Amino acid sequence: MYDLHTHTLRSDGELLPLELVRRMAVLGYDSVGIADHVDTTTLPLVLESADAARQSAMLYGVRLYAGVELTHVPAAEIDALARRAKADGAEIVVVHGETPVEPVAPGTNHAACASDYVDILAHPGMITLEDARAAADRGIALELTGRGGHNRTNGHVARVALEANCRLVVNSDAHAPHDLMSADARELVVRGAGLDMRATHNIIDLNIETWLKSRR
């Protein structure tokens, strides 16, 4: 099991990084990405925290990925900041997409899908087919999210991703213990987006290490 979009006290989450890891290990996760919110001012602090927790996470049987979520960054700066994040050691770069429940700047989805340094576009709202195809061309995954509000457009995201032949991932966007998803909850998020069992297992059983290597 994997979850590549979680938050800790380094941004607006409630948990220390290792408490998050431990709770996820108990639920059965073996691949976890901490992707705390960053902009141009907080990038180094967040990456240092995730990197420092990596060895301890291994003792719980969890492969911890140091990530970031570029959040409310002007569209014109997304590619450069994603590139900087990768250069500074981010293994996973998530972009906070144009969810219907926050005032994300128009053009954010487009800029993220056009960047070679972005791995996941989170909760992308009413993403266009054009942007989904651009994401597919670059191996960028679109997110099906378990987070309330953001998940209102999961069905649309799933339909567009299938038409564009774009990779989908399922993440919790967890900020607190009650946000973490069981195996059954993960499957329900994907099935609830209208996908059949074959497509569902293609998403929930994704080998993260293999996927990330295929993108390099």
Q: What is the pLDDT of residues 59-71, one digit of tens each?
A: 999 999 999 999 9
Give the C-alpha separation, 214 to 179, whole Å: 30
Mean pLDDT in order along the chain per 10 residues (216 residues): 96 95 98 97 87 94 97 98 96 98 98 98 98 98 98 98 98 98 98 97 96 86
Coil, strand or helix: which one is 171?
strand
Cβ pair 46, 19 in contact under 8 A? no
What pLDDT score does 180 carry? 98
Q: Which CATH number fits domain 2-215: 3.30.9.10, 3.20.20.140, 3.40.50.80, 3.20.20.70?
A: 3.20.20.140
For residue 183, what is the enclosing H or E element? Answer: helix 183-192
Q: How far apart are the first and last CA of the chain?
A: 22
Residue 49 has a pLDDT of 83
CA 98 to chain centre: 14
